[in-house]
Chains A and B, each alone.
Chain A
Amino acid sequence: MENIKKLILNTVASAVIEEKQKLTVTVAWDKLHLLAKTLRDNAALPFDVLVYLIGMDRGEELGVNYLLSSSTDLSKELVLKTGTTDRENPLLYSVTDLFETAHFNEREVYALLGIRFINNPDMRKFFLNADWNGFPLRKDYDANPELNPLSLESVDMIDIAPRVMEVDGKLVEETVNIFGDDDYIINIGPQHPSTHGVMHFRTALDGEIVKKIDVHSGYIHRGIEKLSEALTYPQILHFTDRLDYLSANINRHGLCLCVEKASEIEVPERAQYIRTIMDELNRMDSHLLAWACQTNDLGATTAFIYGMREREIILDIFDKTCGGRLIINQNVIGGVMFDIYPDFQKDVKSFIIYMREKLKEYDRFFSHNVIALGRMIGIGNLSKEDAISYAVTGPAGRASGWSNDLRKHTPYALYDKVDFKEVIRTEGDSYARYMNRLDEIEESLHIIEQLIDNIPEGDICAKVKPIIRIPEGEYYQGIEAAKGIFGVFIESRGDKFPYRLKFRSPSMALVSVMPLICKNEKVSDFIGIGGSMDYVIPDIDR
């Protein structure tokens, strides 16, 4: 990392480098793009993954934090910070040309904090309507409902995007049409059986061929990040279950880890075992549902129900352990809330045997079916470069040949003690993503097998102060959720509430890549690709 520091100072002499939880570099707003580009193109250790992009209201100034990481080694992380004191018309430079994933994130920052990004090709508000008054995540936001009354009128979609471009050193405000005049546009969503939630794809079709997709999101945006700023950390925990509800327990684990690391709480070993086992059960639960939904998207209704049938057994185990099925509230700061029940080991072990058998059945039933193969092989190709640029993680990213399993790169809980393979395929098509999930179920079974008989006796939760205060600073914890890297960012000012809390959702990256990989595919494949990406909408609409 010393080389990196040198490189940073050579590129931008005025950069301020601090050693915090992560190496933090603060630069002026006009130097950021240059620095990010240099870091990305650094051959020895390229910082080519934009893990998160967080807009912040730092009080005086409005700013953005970027967490860069290296696609070859995700444990190498680096925070870039920049900001502007102009609160009336804040402008920063976009990094969309360097990291495609920044596109949607910058639009989100614009909607919630009002920062516009120069050179972002499409500066519409993400999540919010164009006519929303105020910027919710600013500290001086007026939440008076009269400012934004509930409208019951039907409003036509406007496919014109404003943007700020830099032409010959001058800033030009302009608008651009998303679609052509003669495009046959069809609304897939927000109410559609195969968008897996209230997602809205404006799709331009040429016969059966998809020409262009425009993603509209925010139909169930709940403002969890804003709500969290008024809640204590144990209270915020229950929001994590409501992001990606299919990997509810893993998300919760992520927030717990972040708080535990920040306030230096030691988690007892028994709790670690329970957490790891529950995480893997949850991962299988999510993958089974993903498998089921993907087959359903391809028209195989029967396979859908088979997936649900197996998932039910996991849910029963959750139910008996934690009293919840989907949202299980198992993790708390310092450990877990419920100890395992007496028959837990027996149930899990019989599930392992059962699931192995069913995996073979899935193979016979669907994985080699000639129709299914035709619907998946070579469809929705995502190259490794694009996967990295769009920060597509999880089984989908690994199907493109990018090793990004945080359980391997930055092990947490017990993942450094167990033996498991990171499932990587290089084809990058729907079938690779499909097979990755089935193989990961197998790996999860393998992990559980190693742990289930060795759960040590002891406490299930550390002694934690009734009121948890995190020391001042910025904290980030990434965790391998079922759909990819789920991250929790907390900026604390020493209070028992977070000053700013942000969840990095894997699904947002998965959706942002949809317009790219669905271009020139058939409309039925668009649905199939959506199934293979396996995004969950509440995860995007935080």
Chain B
Amino acid sequence: MDSVSKYFSGLFTGIFSLLKGMSVTWKELWTPKVTQQYPENRDTLVISDRFRAELTMPHDENNEHACTACGICQMNCPNGTIVVTSQIIETEDGKKKKILDTHQWDLGMCTFCNLCVITCPSDAIKFENTFENAVFTRSKLVQKLNNEGSSLREKKKEVKPVEPKPVVEAKPVVEAPVTEAKPVVEKKVTEEVKPEEPKAEKE
């Protein structure tokens, strides 16, 4: 008789377990859904502040940025997403000075590892949570971060601490101006790095 009782107990526990499962879906049927109705909810949509969607270079009201064109972000980028071009100009008092020409960033290649931001000695770039970056052609993904006609912010006052920086306070600067994109593998330039204060901060 053991097999018979097993047969029936198996049948009934089986049916009972199925009904228990169905009670869970039944409950869910009446639970309000939480799916975000994007894009209808664009006005109320909350994207966390730290979300890394787009690399930007903040400019102040005078169209000035903090980038000294040192090229550290370019060197630290693991896959050559950033290309910094600079030029040497002569200031009024006859000093030679390197200024930023273009800071170019390729969204299509970026892995959002944040290395460029945490190694930037002058906090010139940061990630924004503006996430709607879809475009129709790849070439549009290559963006120039510095505004047209912008210039370097002169550090007259205290150096403004943007955020307490977690990691390395790395302040080395490449001696030679980095003017062209270097392939990833040839990043041995860092070997010749000499620690030196960025010129802007001396004044």
Contact A323 B52 (CB under 8 A): yes
The smallest beta-carbon distance between A234 and chain B, in angstroms, is 6
B172 near A: Cβ within 8 Å? yes
Q: CB distance B14 to A370 under 8 Å?
A: yes
Give CA–CA (A263, B171) in the complex, Å: 21
Could you say which interface size class chain B belongs to? 35 or more
Task: Give the distance to chain B from A55, nearest Cβ to Cβ, in Å.
Answer: 22
Contacts of A155 in B (CB 8 A): none
Given the interface pairs A337-B118, A361-B24, A496-B190, the reply to whether A460 lies near B112 with Cβ below 8 Å is no
Q: Is the CB of A329 within 8 A of B18?
A: no
User: A319 contacts which of B51, B113, B118, B127 (Cβ < 8 Å)?
Assistant: B51
Verify B50–A231 contact, CB threshold 8 A: no
Find chain B residues with CB under 8 A from A466 CB: 119, 168, 170-172
The answer for the CA separation of A327 and B78 in the assembled complex, in Å, is 16
Give bound CA distance, A302 to B29, whole Å. 11
Interface contact A460-B21, CB-CB below 8 Å: no
Measured CA separation A235–B73 after assembly (Å): 12
Residues of A within 8 A of B28 (CB): 302, 306
Interface size on A, residues (CB 8 A): 45
Among residues 70 to 128 in chain B, which have CB atoms less than 8 Å away from a CB atom of chain A? 76, 78, 111-115, 118-119, 127
B167 and A366 form a contact (CB under 8 A) = no
Closest-by-CB residue of B relative to A305 is: B28
B140 at the interface (CB under 8 A from A): no
In the complex, what distance in Å separates the CA atom of A237 from the CA atom of B184? 15
The distance in angstroms between the C-alpha atoms of A232 and B114, with both chains bound, is 15
Which of chain B's residues has its CB closest to A371's CB? Answer: B18
Residue of B nearest to A316 (CB): B48
25 A-B residue pairs with Cβ-Cβ distance under 8 Å, sorted by A, are A232-B190, A234-B76, A235-B76, A239-B78, A316-B48, A323-B114, A323-B127, A323-B129, A324-B112, A329-B113, A332-B166, A334-B168, A337-B167, A338-B50, A338-B166, A364-B23, A365-B21, A369-B20, A369-B21, A370-B14, A370-B18, A371-B18, A460-B166, A463-B169, A466-B119
Given A335-B166, A461-B167, 8 other A-B residues pairs in contact with their CB atoms under 8 A: A323-B127, A324-B112, A337-B118, A337-B166, A337-B167, A365-B21, A368-B20, A466-B170
Interface residues of B (CB under 8 A from A): 13-15, 17-18, 20-21, 23-25, 28, 48, 50-52, 76, 78, 111-115, 118-119, 127, 129, 166-172, 184-185, 187, 190, 193
